[in-house]
Amino acid sequence: MKALRDLYKQLPFMRAMKLDMEELIMARKIKFISTAFGSRLSELRTSKNMTQTELGVELDLSGPAISRYENGLDEPSFDTVLKIAKLFGKDPNYLLGWTEEEPNTPEQRFLKIMNDHATQIYRDFIAQ
């Protein structure tokens, strides 16, 4: 009976511990997404022989902001992802790690064009 009472007293702690674990798992999932974006951004930047500061100037951001993106410590806004995609001529889905490669088939190119049009409509709507 004493063991049950002791266990009952520990329940709030165990619940809090479970929540902490769930938050940790979510943080790791978010980190994984950021890492995909960061590594692709770093690859593209270095392939163009740009420094983080030079890329920051192109995007109206600071060099440390680019560093945070590349290291997965911060996530860019939707508009920043679009600027980066346009600057490097890449699909935003590729930058975010949602697709593995650029569109090759006619169907994939068509979907990319439609996605670009939808993105422009969204930006026009937000600008109003």
Question: What are 39-52's pLDDT values in tens digits?
Answer: 899 999 999 999 99
d(CA 71, CA 86): 21
Low-confidence ranges of the chain (pLDDT < 50): 1, 4, 7-8, 11, 13-19, 25, 32
Q: How far is CA 98 from CA 32, 37, 61, 89, 102, in A?
A: 12, 9, 24, 16, 11
Q: Is 76 exposed, middle or buried (0-12, 13-18, 19+ CB in 10 A)?
A: buried
% helix, strand, coil for the chain, step of 5: 75, 0, 25
List of domains in the chain: 23-127 (1.10.260.40)
| pLDDT score, position 124 | 81
How far apart are alpha carbons 81 and 90 in whole angstroms?
10
The pLDDT of residue 3 is 52
Residue 43 to residue 58: CA distance in whole angstroms: 17
- Tell me the CA distances in angstroms from 80 to 62, 95, 107, one per residue in order: 12, 11, 27
